[in-house]
């Protein structure tokens, strides 16, 4: 069993705390590291279990789905940035739309718009990958 802390949660989009040095790419790297530590059981179900920072107990498939969501959203936002879209335009395009139902927290202030804003800022920073 692995305790993932807030690098992996099942209740919201990842929190990218830019003021404390977090980045969207760092989130992806953290999820990939978590996956590297896991040992799958036959057919990928079971094996190493993960205790998320918030939410239900998970297996490797759950972490893969979450990581893939973050990568897909990153790639969508990166593509929009390449096309010259502003943060407001990216937010209006709703790059998280198909994941909002799953990862919009019912409590707290971390909304899809805040995630998109943090992801956008993370990707336009000079050190962003």
In this prediction, residues 12-34 reach a mean pLDDT of 94
- Supply the mean pLDDT for the chain: 90
Report d(CA 102, CA 122) in Å as an integer: 23
The whole-number pLDDT of residue 47 equals: 82
What is the residue extent of each domain of the chain? 2-124
Q: Does the structure show a pLDDT above 90 at 127? A: no
DSSP helix/strand/coil, 94: coil
Indicate if the pLDDT at residue 18 is higher than 60. Answer: yes
**What's residue 45's pLDDT?**
63
The DSSP line for 36-67 is HH--PPGGGSSSS-EEESSSS-B-HHHHHHHH
The confidence score (pLDDT) of residue 64 equals: 94
């Amino acid at each position: 069993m692995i305790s993932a802390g807030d690098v992996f949660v099942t209740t919201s989009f990842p929190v990218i705390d830019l003021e404390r040095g977090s980045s969207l790419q760092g989130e992806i790297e953290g999820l990939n590291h978590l996956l590297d530590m896991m040992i799958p059981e036959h057919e990928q179900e079971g094996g190493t279990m993960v205790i998320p920072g918030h939410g239900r107990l998970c297996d490797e498939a759950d972490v893969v789905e979450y990581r893939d969501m973050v990568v897909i959203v990153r790639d969508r936002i990166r593509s929009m940035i390449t096309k010259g879209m502003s943060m407001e335009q990216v937010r209006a395009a709703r790059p998280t739309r198909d994941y909002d139902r799953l990862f919009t927290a019912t409590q707290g202030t971390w909304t899809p718009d805040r995630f998109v804003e943090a992801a956008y800022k993370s990707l336009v920073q000079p050190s962003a990958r």
